Amino acid sequence: MFSACQHTDSDNSTTYDRLLRTLYRNTVPVVRPAQLATMLAEKPEAVLLLDTRTPAEYQVSHLRNAHFVDFTSFEKNTFPDLPRNQTVVVYCSVGYRSERVGERLKALGFQDVRNLYGGLFQWVNEGHSVYNQQGVTQNIHPYSPLWSPWLKSGRQVYK
């Protein structure tokens, strides 16, 4: 029996969640930022992070130990040096581009591919750290002015 006080998932959705539902094809399982933070804290070597944004975005900031995969050329990449049996987490600003890369990885035989839900924006909005060549940074590349309102934390930097 349901009471008037109970909420369904959709009742608790944020505007950002509703936007993501329109963007995602649901072809790659998602991992929530808190889940990924736990995975990385418990066994960081078990997770391969792939940043699927542009070089400029990656230079501004990225997740610690993330490998860069240029979104503009990923369709030609066969990722020969990456282990097919390791957990791979792909991410971009909000999760749309990374889902495309995740689809490619799955097609190439990667066994455990996940997309970071809400992307780097959600990661930062939930208080997790990002890095650049100097170390921890507050700088975040918001991709474009259109997407920048979804980034609630950090310092927006276009490079």
Q: What does DSSP assign to residue 51? A: E
Residue 137 Cα distances to 6, 14, 29, 69, 141, angstroms: 40, 26, 28, 21, 11
Beta bridge mates, 156: 140
Give me the residue spans of the domains in the chain. Answer: 29-156
pLDDT at 159: 79
pLDDT at 62: 98
pLDDT at 9: 40
Return all residues near 123 (Cβ < 8 A) that are at least 6 apart: 33, 36, 63, 91, 116, 130
Q: In what order do the strands lie in the sheet with 30-31?
A: 30-31, 112-116, 87-91, 47-51, 67-68
Residues 60-94 have pLDDT tens digits of: 999 999 999 999 888 888 898 999 999 999 999 99
124 backbone dihedrals φ, ψ, rounded to 5°: -70, -40
Measured from the Cβ of residue 111, the count of other Cβ atoms closer than 10 Å reads 12
Assign a CATH topology to domain 29-156. Oxidized Rhodanese; domain 1 (3.40.250)
pLDDT at 12: 58
Q: Which residue has the tokens 């930062």?
A: 124
Mean of per-residue pLDDT scores for the chain: 91
Residues 92-105 have pLDDT tens digits of: 999 999 999 999 99
Alpha-carbon span 1 to 124, nearest angstrom: 38
Contact 119, 134 (CB under 8 A): no
Alpha-carbon span 66 to 45, nearest angstrom: 12
pTM, two decimals, is 0.90
Alpha-carbon span 118 to 152, nearest angstrom: 12
**Cα within 13 Å of Cα(88), Cβ side:** 28
Contact 134, 49 (CB under 8 A): no
